[in-house]
Structure 1
Amino acid sequence: MRHTTLGAIAFAPVLIPLAVVACSSTTDDGTQGDPSSPAAATPADPSDPSSPNNPNAKQSPETTDEGCGGLHAPPCATDKHCMVGKDCASLSCQEGQCVAATPTDGIKNADETDVDCGGAVAPKCVDGKLCTGGADCTSVSCKSGTCAPAAPDDGVQNGDETDVDCGGALATTPRCADTKKCLDGADCTSLVCAGGTCQKPTGTDHVKNGDESDIDCGGTTTGAPKCAVDASCNVHADCASDGCGYTKKCVQGRSCTAHLGGDTCGKGEVGDPAAEHVSCCQQAPLSGTTVKLDRFTVTAGRMRAFIERQSGDVKSFVATLPAAKWSASWNGLVPGSIDEANAMLGPYWTNAPNDTDPSTESKRSCSSGSFGGHTYWTPGDDKQDFTQDELDPKGLNCVGWHLMTAFCAWEGGRLPSLAELKNAYMNGTNSGYPWSFHDATSYNASAADPRLNHQFSYGSPDKPTRRFNGTVPWDITWYVSPPGRFPLGWNKNNIEIAGNLLQWINNGEYMIELNFSWERHGGGATSSNWKTSTAPEAPNGYYAIGARCAFD
């Protein structure tokens, strides 16, 4: 037999991946464990430089399994062989084998938007992580591909918000509007949450909401009534009295909104820490009647509040009054401007339409020189010794009957009658003096007495700039007291009815009641016609005449 010699044959090298033999392992209890089970396979830490799943791990130029893996082939599916994570579609190579992506493998894989977060399976991502939409983020807010912190203007309900961009505890998040979701009233602009929904404000929901100025009162949008005295207010219209005071509380009368002359009546002087002051608009009942009377005569400050509220135009106000309360023939005797008001309440008022001699001043003893003076401070050439702040608390003098009639109508009342003042003066019975119900001590009408301002028994404030003619003060407003300073003379209903100023009454035009004044005028609650019997040439005010109002 002939033998043939074979020539050299060249074989192309083929890289055949070595099959990884899964060896059994022994568990802590000595039993054989499955190395492919989750308990046996510990995910490789991708932050470890030596880990196959480290992003910087180098891929082989060759495939790691049939048609996949390596630098140039597609990544391998689960259970295929691998050398590094990038060989796998899951980017996770554990012990040479591609494993399924999990939300705890430390790798951004599957549909995750950042490492182990985002997508349909992994937890939502915290702020600062990558995202494709709000659903990927714990904040539900994805801005420019990054999870953003919850914000009150991000257009989604997040954080502790109870509805979109409202509710919750953060001060920067606004309260929710009506009909939005809520957990409690604090989530709502209305402060009322019922059935998980913010409710519309009402005037009966027991909270201050809407445009109310206090709980279930004031404002115009909730149907709430006007507010009682001492309730909070924003404007006069919030108050049943139509008077919102300087402390933003409703006051007892619409003319008692300022401090000086508004709440400075009673015992003690302004600034005295021991003073016991009350509202100058307080009223008290007349014994045996349904009528109430101002406890005190009207202050200069109360008249100022009236003039300022009307911008001086009292004429427009009286034009609204019914004929039973006002005669159109009186219109010329009330002001139409601030300047006219200053003239009527100041020292003179010449050319008054009711003056029998237009060349005279139509007022008596109201100039602050030569033993005269008016408590309503006016600007200009009138040389008063006292400032507006010093005068506003005092009883108003030098005011005309018609202006006081208009004032009381504006306050919701009227001038009292002689009978009503006599009732208060005599405590509804036959008391000799207002104070007789508790002090029967005789009264000497020709001497000063601490029970009332009479016979020059009051003087304030002392100041070195006061002018004198010898020992006589030029500005007599020093003698006019703020109402309420003589509590020993109050009647049994605490009305200061006697002393300080004579008073206009409604028994007829120019009628006054005589009940003692700071000067020497007598008492007894009798009446007189000021214009016809006392001062026909000066009908529009006197330094010892004031007034108070009565209320039916």
Structure 2
Amino acid sequence: MGALVAAGCSDLIGADWERYKPGNGEGAAAGSGGEGAASGSGGEGAASGSGGEGAASGSGGEGAAAGSGGEGAAVGSGGQAGGCGVNGDGGSGAGAGGGPISSMTPSCLTLTTRCGPDGISCCDSRLVDGGAYTRSYEDATGSAEQRRAIVNDFWLDTYEITVGRFREFVEAGKGTRESPPEAGAGEHPALPGSGWKDSFVQFLQPDTATLMVELRKCTPPDRDTCSAIGARCSTWSDTVESDDDERRPMNCITWHEAMAFCAWDGGRLPTEAEWSYAAAGGDEERSYPWGDTADEDRAVFGCYGYTEASGRPCTIADLLPVGSRSSGDEATSGDGKWGQADLAGSLWEWTLDGYSDEYPISSQRCELCDNCANLTAGSERVMRGGCFDDDIENLTTSHRLPSKPAERYYGIGARCARDR
């Protein structure tokens, strides 16, 4: 193995770009401005699951119960919420039935590229069995009860969004102001108001040609180049270069583009609670997706995934095809408990939540997170998992960073969640 590089994606998003630096408490709390208040059905767009000042989502301000079996706490921070029931009181859970979802999603209907060591569909998605666990969000504060969370069954894509899948999206003319998602698309079934909002359209590119230029350029507004990893920092190319390139994870996408893609592809962005639940193995609460011990061979990180040469500059070539650290052997594979690949390393992944330094809870009457999320429209969104030029310390299941949703970074991509 080559030597680890000193600066990684976390450093670029933090110190170099004067953003949040792990441990310094300077991450802007979600809800401080930005995209406009999250919309709801019973008021003026009160935040769902934020534990803040908004009314509970639901009609008439009554805060319809969200969670399994109708026993869960209401999504939101006010209203007449239901009780804080534990998942299992007659809960039904989305996606029950087991087994993977294969290739019948829009991004794979005509895609011939296959992914992973077994050459399966790049759109493969696997059931995550819901349950309760203790969240370990780095730099978040809250009581022991507030850290507890309940997550319903859901499907989570086996792989991060690949270049090939995103190409289908772009070639369909989607993800632009000319063809945005419909309002409400990509909504979490237990989180009313969590889907696409018309106010997001302004953050999309005007047309496909402009989108392709921005994907290639991948330059945040406050930087002139992406020189940290060489002249090229995007995995996108306007034409197909090779199957391996099409299998690589799609980076340099904004939060709004990730949300638009997942909605178009029949899914949604996972909540932070869902993402960390899947990565931590649920109530096993693992430190890494594969277990509690750091293992250099189980993740794409540290800029030595592509070759073992040491001392060379980090380049985009270090971002390997998805599933490169997967295997059929639990003793060596980097996959998580439910079979998802690259939950550590490869790319940071966008989640639905706005960033906050407090644990989201379901309502003011209940300190439990029952399928909750921070839907407050703050200035930053949560990303998880670490990336290909990070050190292994940034790959833990508790590590999290905020990033501005409308900006592009070479270390950020996404994967979709699904409810059937």
Let me know the Cα RMSD of the aligned residues.
Answer: 3.0
- Which of 84, 107, 114 pairs up with 1:255? 107
Is residue 266 of structure 1 aligned with residue 116 of structure 2? yes
- Which of 271, 277, 280 pairs up with 1:426? 280
Is residue 340 of structure 1 aligned with residue 182 of structure 2? no
Deviations 1:484-516 (A, max 9, x none): 111111112111122211111110264233323
- Find the aligned partners of 2:201 and 2:287 in 1 and give their Cα distance: 40
**Alignment correspondent of 1:317:** 179
- Which of 390, 395, 398 pairs up with 1:520? 390
**Alignment correspondent of 1:131:** none
Is residue 471 of structure 1 aligned with residue 312 of structure 2? yes
Shift of 1:337: 2.5
**Alignment correspondent of 2:142:** none
Is the contact between residue 343 and residue 349 of structure 1 (CA under 8 Å) also seen in structure 2?
Answer: no
Is the contact between residue 347 and residue 388 of structure 2 (CA under 8 Å) also seen in structure 1?
Answer: yes
Is the contact between residue 372 and residue 543 of structure 1 (CA under 8 Å) also seen in structure 2?
Answer: no
- Which of 376, 388, 392 pairs up with 2:246? 392
Bigger relative contact order, structure 1 or 2 (CA pairs below 8 A, ≥6 apart): 2
Shift of 1:256: 1.7
Deviations 1:338-391 (A, max 9, x none): 2112123121468xxxx5x6xx55xx73x6973651001147xxxxxx936542
Shift of 1:257: 3.7
- Find the aligned partners of 1:390 and 1:484 in 2 and give their Cα distance: 12
Is the contact between residue 113 and residue 164 of structure 2 (CA under 8 Å) also seen in structure 1?
Answer: no
Shift of 1:551: 1.2
After superposition, residues 98-109 of structure 1 pair within 5 angstroms as: none
Shift of 1:319: 5.3
**Alignment correspondent of 1:490:** 335
After superposition, residues 129-278 of structure 1 pair within 5 angstroms as: 251-259=103-111, 263-267=113-117, 276-278=118-120
Is residue 376 of structure 1 aligned with residue 236 of structure 2? yes
What is the total number of aligned residue pairs between the two structures?
253
Q: SS where residue 106 of structure 2 aligns?
A: coil
Is the contact between residue 178 and residue 207 of structure 2 (CA under 8 Å) also seen in structure 1?
Answer: no
- Which of 141, 150, 153 pairs up with 1:290? 153
Q: 1:279 to 1:529 in 2, by over 3 A?
A: same
Q: Percent identity?
A: 26
Q: SS where residue 507 of structure 1 aligns?
A: strand
Shift of 1:332: 2.7
**Alignment correspondent of 2:410:** 543
The amino acid across from 2:116 in the alignment is G
Larger Rg over CA atoms:
1
Q: SS where residue 108 of structure 2 aligns?
A: coil
Deviations 1:55-74 (A, max 9, x none): xxxxxxxxxxxxxxxxxxxx
Unaligned runs of 5+ in 1: 1-249, 268-275, 380-385, 463-467, 532-537
Is residue 504 of structure 1 aligned with residue 354 of structure 2? no
**Alignment correspondent of 2:319:** 480
Q: 1:282 to 1:420 in 2, by over 3 A?
A: same
| Larger relative helix fraction | 2
Q: SS where residue 314 of structure 1 aligns?
A: coil
Is the contact between residue 426 and residue 432 of structure 1 (CA under 8 Å) also seen in structure 2?
Answer: yes
Q: SS where residue 116 of structure 2 aligns?
A: strand
Shift of 1:284: 1.0
Is residue 280 of structure 1 aligned with residue 122 of structure 2? yes
Q: 1:524 to 1:348 in 2, by over 3 A?
A: closer
Shift of 1:408: 0.7
- Find the aligned partners of 1:403 and 1:510 in 2 and give their Cα distance: 15
Unaligned runs of 5+ in 2: 1-101, 131-151, 186-192, 327-332, 355-378
Is the contact between residue 256 and residue 406 of structure 2 (CA under 8 Å) also seen in structure 1?
Answer: no
Is the contact between residue 418 and residue 527 of structure 1 (CA under 8 Å) also seen in structure 2?
Answer: no
Is residue 305 of structure 1 aligned with residue 177 of structure 2? no
- Find the aligned partners of 1:338 and 1:494 in 2 and give their Cα distance: 34
- Find the aligned partners of 1:492 and 1:313 in 2 and give their Cα distance: 32
Is the contact between residue 414 and residue 549 of structure 1 (CA under 8 Å) also seen in structure 2?
Answer: yes
Deviations 1:305-363 (A, max 9, x none): 001012x563243252338322323213223422112123121468xxxx5x6xx55xx
The amino acid across from 2:124 in the alignment is Q
Is residue 416 of structure 1 aligned with residue 270 of structure 2? yes
Shift of 1:523: 2.3
The amino acid across from 1:493 in the alignment is W
- Find the aligned partners of 2:263 and 2:116 in 1 and give their Cα distance: 24
Deviations 1:205-248 (A, max 9, x none): xxxxxxxxxxxxxxxxxxxxxxxxxxxxxxxxxxxxxxxxxxxx
Is the contact between residue 376 and residue 388 of structure 1 (CA under 8 Å) also seen in structure 2?
Answer: no
Deviations 1:95-133 (A, max 9, x none): xxxxxxxxxxxxxxxxxxxxxxxxxxxxxxxxxxxxxxx
Shift of 1:517: 1.5
- Find the aligned partners of 2:246 and 2:183 in 1 and give their Cα distance: 27
Q: 1:322 to 1:418 in 2, by over 3 A?
A: closer
Q: 1:491 to 1:378 in 2, by over 3 A?
A: same
Q: SS where residue 432 of structure 1 aligns?
A: coil
The amino acid across from 1:375 in the alignment is T
Is the contact between residue 163 and residue 250 of structure 2 (CA under 8 Å) also seen in structure 1?
Answer: yes
**Alignment correspondent of 2:96:** none
Q: SS where residue 320 of structure 2 aligns?
A: coil
- Find the aligned partners of 1:391 and 1:402 in 2 and give their Cα distance: 23
Deviations 1:155-177 (A, max 9, x none): xxxxxxxxxxxxxxxxxxxxxxx
Please give the TM-score of this superposition, normalised by the length of structure 1. 0.42
Deviations 1:242-297 (A, max 9, x none): xxxxxxxx9332112454xx642111xxxxxxxx2111111112232321111111
**Alignment correspondent of 2:9:** none
- Find the aligned partners of 1:458 and 1:422 in 2 and give their Cα distance: 24
